[in-house]
Amino acid sequence: MPSRKQAFYAVDRIEGNIAVLVSDTGATVQMPRVELPTGIREGSVLRVRVGAQNLPDWSSAVIDKKEEERRLREAKQMLDEMKRSDPGGDIKL
């Protein structure tokens, strides 16, 4: 039995009743908020089953807290590394 393909979308922002989502490939999707799981907010990560024609099955979308936490940790590590390698001071041209 083939495994079910999934995709992740991060909630970039919420504009009224529309959620603007960004896929891991960088594609932007606008979705009515009512079609997404209750409790989404900016920064939420949604795990979505991919169905026919490689399109997301939005009815399967769930908030993935573990993936959200993993991404936050990764971003913090990158920021910390950038801070450690920054010599400080003014930029001179």
Phi-psi region of 17 (alpha: psi -120 to 50; beta: other; left: phi over 0): alpha
Containing domain of residue 47, as a range?
Answer: 6-85
Angle at 31 between CA 70 and CA 26, to 5 degrees: 50
pLDDT at 2 over 80: no
What are the tokens at 74? 């990764």
Count of domains forming the chain:
1
Is residue 49 a part of any domain in this protein?
yes
What pLDDT sits at residue 86?
Answer: 76
Distance linking the first and last C-alpha atoms of the chain:
60
CATH number, domain with residue 12: 2.40.50
What pLDDT sits at residue 1?
Answer: 42
pTM: 0.80
Q: Please tell me the least confidently modeled range out of 69-73, 76-80, 87-91.
A: 87-91
The beta strands (E) that lie in 51-89 are given as 56-63
* pLDDT tens figures, 14-62: 999 999 999 999 999 999 999 999 999 999 999 999 988 889 999 999 9
pLDDT band at 64 (very low <50, low <70, confident <90, very high): very high
What pLDDT sits at residue 23?
Answer: 95
Other beta carbons within 10 angstroms of residue 54's beta carbon come to 8
Is residue 91 a part of any domain in this protein?
no
Is residue 41 a part of any domain in this protein?
yes
Is residue 76 a part of any domain in this protein?
yes
